[in-house]
A and B are shown apart, each in its own frame.
Chain A
């Protein structure tokens, strides 16, 4: 399956069917990341219910140092 993650085209296995599995795939599940799928924020409690489908645009952001 082809996804655009943080602006980059990536191929992930077809068994990555939801946001929770996607974060697992990249070892990000214990990170304080915030996920947006096709410009809609996915609530943290709904990661397992939010499907990931071919050509989705996913943003994974977090807090970094700033003023």
Chain B
């Protein structure tokens, strides 16, 4: 069970809604993933093509917790403005704070993220900041009272997986709020690794939406996250340099 701000979720997979080949595939992928939290972005409406389909209209919004992001914001001020617009929809009170500092790497601006998180907490939002995988930053955000920490595994959409597992481990070990690995996941193995390290959840988008078969990949991610979590709870064996036999060494009929 994943608990964010006293809300319980059965699924530890948070799924993005961008860049799917079409809405039919997207709908199936969301269904199969069993994700309960879906991320969205806030953008200007094309008022002359208002009849264009919108994914939000195709799903039962009562079944999902919507997690809008502040993507596009370069400053705390812009992030706060986007968050308020999102909340005004009346559909959600959670916000993924995303303040991008560098357009080439899309890595977060930690200072602006911290600032925006502080303001949004004061405004009563449930705040989930997307952050660098830095343990001190995670602590600072926690001290503010954020409801989850979402460190990036590697740059957004890069599919490089967890570049610094040690940093992630440090964040997990000291965290008093859920840690959700956000961005950079490429394969089910990456998602399982995040969970085995002890993350509470994984947020991914491109790994599913741009897979050759997004629906199958959605299922793969669901299962690998479940597997990784079980493995974490079960407690893996320590790594040893040399072999230890699995079969008994006594009572052998030969030798």
Contacts and interface: CB of A to CB of B under 8 A. Distances in A.
A67 B42 contact: no
B18 interface: yes
A67 B45 contact: no
17 contacts: A6-B44, A26-B48, A28-B50, A32-B57, A32-B89, A34-B85, A34-B86, A34-B88, A60-B45, A61-B45, A62-B56, A63-B40, A66-B69, A67-B157, A67-B183, A67-B203, A67-B204
Contact of A66 (B16, B47, B57, B84): B16
Contacts of A50: none
A32 B69 CA distance: 17
A65 interface: yes
A44 B43 CA distance: 17
Interface residues on chain B, size class: 35 or more
A59 interface: yes
Interface of A: 5-7, 26-28, 31-34, 36, 39, 41, 43-44, 59-67
A67 B39 contact: yes
B8 interface: no
Contacts of B183: 67
Given A65-B17, A67-B156, A67-B206, A41 B89 contact: no
A28 B49 CA distance: 10
A66 B44 contact: no
B54 A64 contact: yes
B2 interface: no
A49 to B, nearest CB: 15
A9 B183 CA distance: 37
Contacts of A32: 54, 56-57, 89, 91
B71 interface: yes
B44 A63 contact: no
A26 B88 contact: no
B71 to A, nearest CB: 6
Ranked 8 nearest A-B pairs via Cβ: A66-B41, A67-B16, A67-B205, A65-B18, A65-B17, A63-B40, A6-B44, A66-B18
Contacts of B66: 63
B52 to A, nearest CB: 10
Contacts of B88: 34, 41, 43-44
B89 A27 contact: no
A42 to B, nearest CB: 8
Contacts of B68: 63, 66
